[in-house]
Structure 1
Amino acid sequence: MTPITLSHRLFLVRHGETDWNREGRLQGGQDIPLNALGREQAAEAAGRLRDLVQGYDGLDFIGSPMQRARETMEILRHQLGLPPKEYRTDERLKELTFGKWEGFTWREVRKAERELALVRERDKWNFVPPGGESYKMLAERVRPVLEGLSRETVLVSHGGVARAVLALIGEVSPGEAAMVDIWQGKILMISSGKAAWV
């Protein structure tokens, strides 16, 4: 995979917590709203961004069109004193889909489909769940979004998308990217080819 070099800083925010996150359920393509903690995390992310950026006029704001990402973006923008709904969405920033596994916990998946779960453990990056998509497929749809960024950008999306971004910029190998923890309420700042949590 040829790494992407971003010419401007990228502030990547994972959506805040949902009840399904709390329960350990695979959300994927399911449109689950934020819970109370998730809304607090979105406000925390705004505070972190305020410490990193002087003025917001030059920033681009783009996000996943899924409800949990939109809610996070709108809370973040409101906290920054910006019109909450004045941002772009892009379908390519939707979460990795888990197909027929969505709604289940990993424990339930391992119990119901033990062999497939073991195959996934051996190669998470390339594994395609039944009716779903792999991290490799996700990275292929996210790549053109990153390549199209032309200024400092706040991107609100999902854990899977953040993992794909880390692989696309060459911060970690694809295999490692599929295993990285992606935090809610924090910002993954990407600058000069390096990523750091702030």
Structure 2
Amino acid sequence: MTFSHRLIFVRHGETPYNAENRLQGQRDIPLGQRGRDQARSLGRTLRARIGPIIDRLEAEAAFVASPLERTRETMELARDAMALDPARYRLDPRLKELTFGDWEGLTWPEVQARDPKGAAARRADKWNFAPPNGESYAMLATRIGAWLDTLTADAFVVSHGGVARALMALIAGVPAAAAADTPVVQGRALVFERGGCEWIG
């Protein structure tokens, strides 16, 4: 798709589920202490590195987050560290993480033990596979594409790793299979613009 705006994307900070390598999907897991530290540190880094851009986005009320607690907390801590009102942002449910359905709360070894056929099917086609009662990356990309179609200007987004991978495929032209396997770092920002993406922080 053609996307002519700049999107500053932040994945939420680390949660206890992240630390344990558990699939959290749409479970509403709060940040751990390391995740809170990551959010504050990133806010300070962004203020120092791209302060004028941050101020312009703030003037345009262009900050938006997934409604899950870990993304809201990341947004508020980062905004506070950028010397902005922590509460001045909006929520969009389309920015939620993909749901892992029946696999949520499990580690990958537990998924392998409980659903070896499903685990094998996901390894074979990670982009298109949907866990039982869950979503695939392809389904998530459809949801995120619909959200992108509503953007009329630059934006600052706090969301999830799966959403970042969908954006890589939709905006930056990363092949779907590669996007599904791309690490999405916590504590850094990913800037999408001019048909590409790069990390800062």
TM-score range normalised by the length of the shorter chain: over 0.9
TM-score with structure 1 setting the length: 0.95
Unpaired runs of 5+ in structure 2? none
CA distance in 2, matches of 1:163, 1:4: 17
TM-score with structure 2 setting the length: 0.93
Of 2, 9, 14, which aligns to 1:17? 14
Aligned to 1:52: 50
| Cα offset, 1:4, TM superposition | 3.2
| Cα offset, 1:179, TM superposition | 0.4
Aligned to 1:112: 114
What does 1:18-167 correspond to in 2, within 5 Å? 18-50=15-47, 51-54=49-52, 56-59=54-57, 60-167=62-169
**8 Å Cα contact 1:44-1:186 kept in structure 2:** no
State the Cα deviation string for residues 160-192 of structure 1 (Å, max 9, x = none): 000000011143111111100000000001111
Q: Match for 2:56: what amino acid?
A: G
CA distance in 2, matches of 1:44, 1:36: 12
**8 Å Cα contact 1:12-1:189 kept in structure 2:** yes
Q: Match for 2:11: what amino acid?
A: R
Tell me the C-alpha RMSD between the 2 structures. Answer: 1.1
* Local SS of the residue matching 1:41: helix
State the Cα deviation string for residues 86-115 of structure 1 (Å, max 9, x = none): 101100000010001000001110111111
Q: Runs of 4 or more off by more than 4 Å in structure 1?
A: none
Aligned residues between the structures: 195
CA distance in 2, matches of 1:149, 1:49: 22
Q: Match for 1:82: what amino acid?
A: L
* Local SS of the residue matching 1:54: helix
Aligned to 2:187: 185
| Cα offset, 1:55, TM superposition | 5.3
* Local SS of the residue matching 2:122: helix
Unpaired runs of 5+ in structure 1? none
When structure 1 is superposed on structure 2, of 7-16 and 44-53 the one drifting more is 44-53
